[in-house]
Amino acid sequence: MSKPIPVGISARHLHVSREHLDILFGEGYQLTVKKDLSQPGQFACEEQVDLVTEKGSFKKVRILGPERKQTQIEIALTDALKLGIKPPVRDSGDLKGSPGLTLVGPKGEVKLEEGVIAACRHIHMTIADAAELGLKDKDIVKVRCNGERGLIYDNVLARVSDSFKLECHLDTDEGNAAKINTGNTVEIVK
C-alpha cells in the first residue's frame, strides 16, 4: 500500500477577478473570509453569486478566495446538465474555448464569454511529497478509492509546489461515485 493521501471533495464554486468583483459587489469591495480551506492561503468566502444560463441556474454559489487574474467557474458535469452547457475537463486556469455564463451579484451582472470548466482530478503535493511518491509536476497517475463503492480513477494530475499541502481533489460527482468524503484517503496505484 502506498502513502495515504487525504481527499478534498470540491463542490461547485468560482474564483473572481478584481474587475468582476467590483461589478458584482461594488467598487473596491473586499472578499470576506468564511473559513480557511486546506490549501495554504485559500479560503471560502461569505460572498455568493448566482450562475445563470438560458437553460438553468444555480443560486448562491460560493466564491473562493483570494482574487484571481481571471474569473473561473468550476462545476461538476451533472451541474452542467442543469445549466445546459458542456464544459471541458481541464486543469485550473486553462479556460480558453470553455463556455461562459452570466454571474449575478448584489450590485451587478457579468456576462462571461468563457470561464466554465469541470476541474480535472488532481493531487496537490509539495516537492518532498512528490519525491517520496516518485512523481513530478504534471505527471498523470491512478488513485484507488477503497470502501463500499471502491474504484480506481485514471487520469489524475499531479500538481507539485511547495505552496501546496498534500490532498487529492475530486468533484462531487466523483466523490459520490466512490462514496467518499472530504477527510477520507486514497492511494496512488502503479
Domain harbouring 125, CATH code? 2.40.40.20
Residue with cell 458584482: 24
- Per-residue pLDDT tens digits for 17-40: 999 999 999 999 999 999 999 999
- Would you state the pLDDT for residue 55? 97
- pLDDT category, 4, cuts 50, 70, 90? very high
Tell whether 173 is covered by a domain.
yes
- Per-residue pLDDT tens digits for 77-97: 999 999 999 999 999 999 999
- Rounded CA-CA distance 149/97 in Å is 35
- Would you state the pLDDT for residue 148? 92
Residue with cell 445549466: 83
Helix (H) or strand (E) holding 183: none
DSSP SS3 for 29: coil
- Would you state the pLDDT for residue 127? 97
Residues 105 and 144 reside in one and the same domain: no
- Per-residue pLDDT tens digits for 171-182: 999 999 999 999
Residues 98 and 126 reside in one and the same domain: no
- Would you state the pLDDT for residue 190? 76
88, 119, 150 — which closes off a domain?
119
Residues 78 and 145 reside in one and the same domain: no
Tell whether 156 is covered by a domain.
yes
CB atoms under 10 Å from CB of 188, counted, come to 20
Strand partners, 141: 156
Residues 19 and 110 reside in one and the same domain: yes
Residues 100 and 131 reside in one and the same domain: no
Residues 110 and 126 reside in one and the same domain: no
Q: What separation, in Å, do the N-terminal and C-terminal C-alpha atoms of the chain show? A: 10
Average pLDDT over residues 123-148: 96
- Would you state the pLDDT for residue 46? 98
119, 137, 166 — which closes off a domain?
119
Q: Is the pLDDT of residue 61 over 90?
A: yes
- Would you state the pLDDT for residue 63? 98
Range of the domain at 129: 121-189
Tell whether 71 is covered by a domain.
yes
Residues 51 and 132 reside in one and the same domain: no
Q: Which amino acid is at 15?
A: H
Average pLDDT over residues 52-57: 98
119, 136, 165 — which closes off a domain?
119
- Would you state the pLDDT for residue 125? 97
pTM here is 0.94
Q: Which of 94, 85, 81, 109 is nearest to 20 (CA)?
A: 109
- pLDDT category, 2, cuts 50, 70, 90? confident
Q: Is the pLDDT of residue 1 over 90?
A: no
Residues 111 and 17 reside in one and the same domain: yes
Tell whether 31 is covered by a domain.
yes
Share of residues in the chain with pLDDT > 70 (%): 99
Tell whether 3 is covered by a domain.
no
Average pLDDT, the chain: 97
